[in-house]
Amino acid sequence: MLDLFYASLTIDEQLEKLKGEVKDLAKKEGLSLRKTSVKIVHGTMDKIPNQGALFIMPPLIGKFGVGKDFKALVRLIEFHKLYAAFITYAHLVPREKRIRKDIKEFSTYIRKLLSIIQPKVIVCLGEESQFSLFKRKFLMRDYHGQVIGDEEGIPVMTSYEMEYYGGDSAYEDSTYKNFLQENDWKAIKENLK
């Protein structure tokens, strides 16, 4: 739930306040971020409150919105014509590695973002991202493409992270991965109807 101070602000002001809180967290972790360099969500702001999906990617390692996984997700969103989609990360302070505890502690910020955006569906990409909203992980091989719970009445789904689809595997060929991806995205679109 959004605290009362947030509720009295415009959406832009709420997002700016949340950016400030993330910047303060980064400072506590020994990182100095310029406020202008802090980004918390990718999407079209005029689509808030949102009737689309919020995709939560694994924790941020480098810069927000940079990298082949982010670009692959944007292409998939565009391919499936999900014009009211938003993207964030399970943890927004860049680090080489994040542990489960870090992601769970950061969930406060994710929940504030959810209250601001108000998506119709939340999609956790990868098992790590699930810790943004749940205490336990749901094994991808058993739960991908399914609703795994809800957050404030919003269905939460899970799917493989983008790295899975782009990576090579000795056990799974690209045809199988494409099949999984198509089925998961079909389920995501069904939950948006």
For residue 35, pLDDT over 60 is answered with no
Pair type for strands 154-159 and 53-57: unpaired
Q: Which pLDDT score, from 0 to 100, does residue 168 have? A: 67
For residue 46, pLDDT over 90 is answered with no
In-domain check, residue 4:
no
Q: Which pLDDT score, from 0 to 100, does residue 149 have? A: 96
The mean predicted confidence, pLDDT, of the chain is 89
Confidence of residue 171 (pLDDT cuts 50, 70, 90): confident
Prior bond of 49 cis (ω within 30°)? yes
Residue 185 CB partners (closer than 8 Å, separation 6+): 76, 80, 159
Q: Which pLDDT score, from 0 to 100, does residue 170 have? A: 67
- Per-residue pLDDT, averaged over 53-59, amounts to 96
Q: Which pLDDT score, from 0 to 100, does residue 92 have? A: 92
In-domain check, residue 17:
no
In-domain check, residue 95:
yes
CATH code, domain with 142: 3.40.470.10
How many distinct structural domains can be found in the chain? 1
In-domain check, residue 25:
no
In-domain check, residue 106:
yes
For residue 1, pLDDT over 60 is answered with no
In-domain check, residue 31:
no
Q: Which pLDDT score, from 0 to 100, does residue 94 have? A: 87
- Per-residue pLDDT, averaged over 54-68, amounts to 92
| Mean pLDDT lowest among 39-48, 115-124, 162-171 | 162-171
CA-CA-CA-CA torsion for 51, 55, 60, 65, nearest 10 degrees? -70
Higher model confidence: residue 81 or residue 51? 81
Higher model confidence: residue 173 or residue 15? 15
Q: Which range of residues forms the domain containing residue 85?
A: 41-192
In-domain check, residue 147:
yes
In-domain check, residue 140:
yes
